Structure 1
Amino acid sequence: MNPTGYPQGHALLIGVANYQQISSLPAAILNDVNDVAATLSSPHYCAYPPANVVTLLDTNATRAAVLKGLEELAARAGPDDTACVFFSGHGGIVGSPGNEESVLVTVDSDLADIENTSISSNELAVALAQIKAKRLLVFIDACHAGGAAISKRLIDGKGHELKSGYTQDVLAKLAVGSGRALMASCRADEVSAVFPSARNSVFTTALLAGLRGAADKSSSGFIKVFDLFNYVSEEVPKLIPADQHPIFKADNLEVNFAIALSQGGKKSPHSPETTPMVQKEVPWSVLEKILVELYPFGPRDQEVWSRAGGDLSRLQLHPTGQAAWHAALRTLKQGGGGRNINFGSLLSTAKEDFANHPQLAMLKIP
């Protein structure tokens, strides 16, 4: 693994501002996608390989192209990878009251035939389920109209108008699965706002700051899913008080998994904020905390235990990655876990994978 990058990171970013048959959205929508793409692929921020970050903007974001993009993401993102899907544009609510369904509105959608020219929540859920990455984070910035800010609404100038946004039930459905999470820009009855002349939407303004390092308050060297949402959910209401509150959905999320490197504003490995913890704590307990963070699915994650010389058959199965690591290290301290594994080999393997992690870099063989 490249110690200066995050090669396991993959992303598909979709933005539509200039619809063919539906009301347009501010240019900030396209800036959102371009800026998130630049941040993810920047070696100074998230360090995804640029080839792994795919964008579909305006005319390139047709129904067929978006579905193909999701299919290609599923093909290239393996089980040990991290995948992000970002959509900024119109979302529409179809169906009768009490039986409402949400659709993702692509550049070629037609309000007169919306159910056949958009991507239904079922189609989107099936496409997301095909992505085998153990860590999948979906961002949706497509919500209801209203309020004083520039907002998102669906009209076509031909007398057709559609309630915009995504229902709570649909957002929950899109987050189903182990290691899957979804972050939406606002509640179902709120506006996802873009202020006049602003470069980015309110939601993406906070998201970009979080990805550029503000969400990594502990200077861990990683942007982690819970930390990112906590940051965004605190910052958005500051930008537009009482009017917009991001929401988070997860079905079976065990740990605060990393989604990217945090290269922006990273503290020195010898920072006084990080050094005392390693000096005061026993190396085994420090290593356990770090391994839970870096390999949240346990010793089988990225085959780290086997690569360090261990024998997975000597370990017991546990329901969470954190429990699996605690039991595995306890076994290792007692001399078990495999003939060729020890503290040093496990530490060395982790350092090979994540050589830029400040606390890991300071750990030494006791």
Structure 2
Amino acid sequence: MQFNQGRALVIGVANYEEVRRLPEAVLNDARDTADALKSPSYCGYPDANVTVLTDGQATLAGIRKALAELAAKSTTDNTVAIFFSGHGTRVGSGGAMTSALVPYDCRRSDLTGTTLSESELSAAIAAIKASRVLVIVDACHAAGAASLKSDLGEVGDDGLDVGFDEKSLQQLASGTGRVIFASSRATEVSRVLRGERNSVFTTAILAGLKGAAGSAGDGTIRVFDLFNYVSEAVRQAVPGKQHPIFKASELEENFAVALDLGGTKSLAPRYAVRERTLEQIMSDLFPAGPTDQQIWLRAGGDVANLTLGGTGRSQWFSALRLLSQGGGGRNITRESLIDEALEEFPSHRELAALR
């Protein structure tokens, strides 16, 4: 079997010309992700549909060309995955500050002119005709790699204001069917544990793609389920230190990102299965999101703690993930939310079964 509609661009940069180098795990992340996508035992992407750029191939011109080719070849029937592992930086100042991905040939004397800005990357993503696009950004290695996992110098010694901020991630997610995964919050780092082949984040991505995220029963791995798995796996690996980010603005479909051909063929972890079911039910009953009929507030939650951008489905996804991590308000629980919903829909058997 092949996931014939799948196309991918995978980029990894560790050994920069001028900018401080990163651990070998960054290149392993890119290569291993590409291998998993192309594997007939795992994700089933056709070999010809996966482009890989590492180090000297990942120049600014090289990345631009690959993005343009991806846009030219993609159709509305495609699912497109873009993976970047390397440095991210903030450029500009004040209200004009934005984020950018750092290519192999970045020049410290001209960061604005030699990096791939959020606006340019957003435009490149918008040019892709595919109706389903997943962008995975692992661009916050710098602080963690330098100060925790290697002897490559101190943070900022090459003039980079490291990281990729959440405002820029939200801009990348603009448009129907666009989803962004980022490895960590803007104030955190993407961790590489000593002696491990991959970063903590990509270790979870790879496990999810190889079957641990579980399928929806149709032989595919779907975007919400993959992120649910990755988020929980990272949380367990480095408790309280790294929190992957999910961004989407116009997303209703829990679309397939790959075939589910590998792994143990066991069900997804119980937390993921339960949360997915409640998410689907709440999205049906309260389609505008957690503020619909004030259901979150009535269940004891604090709406101020929620991310309310995007569609009702994506709001429920984020809200229930926050609730599973102990957030969302002091008095709200999974049980109080279900009980409050049952006040509105007392005959809903599926909902009652979750109590």
State the TM-score, normalized to the length of structure 2.
Answer: 0.71
1:124-178: CA deviation from partner (whole Å, max 9, x where unpaired): 1111111000110000001165456338999899x64221111111000001110
| Runs of 4 or more consecutive aligned structure 1 residues displaced over 6 Å after TM superposition | 151-157
Partner of 1:205: 203
Matched, 1:9 2:6: yes
Separation in 2, partners of 1:183, 1:64? 24
Task: Give the number of aligned pairs.
Answer: 268
Partner of 2:21: 24
Matched, 1:37 2:59: no
Separation in 2, partners of 1:98, 1:192? 26
Q: 1:218 to 1:128 in 2, by over 3 A?
A: closer
Secondary structure at the aligned position of 2:99 is classed as strand
Q: 1:144 to 1:57 in 2, by over 3 A?
A: closer
1:316-338: CA deviation from partner (whole Å, max 9, x where unpaired): xxxx9x9xxxxxxxxxxxxxxxx
**Cα offset, 1:265, TM superposition:** 3.6
Counterpart code for 2:171: K
Unaligned runs of 5+ in 2: 268-279, 281-310, 314-355
Separation in 1, partners of 2:185, 2:153? 18
Matched, 1:196 2:219: no
Percent identity reads 52
1:289-317: CA deviation from partner (whole Å, max 9, x where unpaired): 9xxxxxxxxxxxxxxxxxxxxxxxxxxxx
Q: 1:71 to 1:8 in 2, by over 3 A?
A: same
Partner of 1:354: none
From 235, 244, 251, the equivalent of 1:253 is: 251
Partner of 1:295: none
Secondary structure at the aligned position of 1:21 is classed as coil
Q: 1:69 to 1:155 in 2, by over 3 A?
A: farther
Separation in 1, partners of 2:206, 2:118? 26
Flag the structure with larger Rg. Answer: 1
Equivalent residues of 2:141, 2:191 under 8 A apart:
no
Equivalent residues of 2:134, 2:180 under 8 A apart:
yes
Partner of 2:306: none
Superposition CA RMSD, Å: 2.5
Separation in 2, partners of 1:151, 1:103? 24
From 94, 100, 108, the equivalent of 1:111 is: 108
**Cα offset, 1:109, TM superposition:** 0.1
Secondary structure at the aligned position of 1:161 is classed as coil
Equivalent residues of 2:105, 2:114 under 8 A apart:
yes
1:264-300: CA deviation from partner (whole Å, max 9, x where unpaired): 14759xx9xxxxxxxxxxxxxxxxx9xxxxxxxxxxx
Partner of 1:161: 159
Q: 1:32 to 1:209 in 2, by over 3 A?
A: same
Equivalent residues of 2:7, 2:74 under 8 A apart:
yes
Matched, 1:51 2:51: no
Partner of 1:333: none
Separation in 2, partners of 1:19, 1:265? 35
Separation in 2, partners of 1:155, 1:117? 22
Equivalent residues of 1:6, 1:260 under 8 A apart:
yes
Matched, 1:99 2:93: no
Partner of 1:68: 65
Equivalent residues of 1:151, 1:194 under 8 A apart:
no
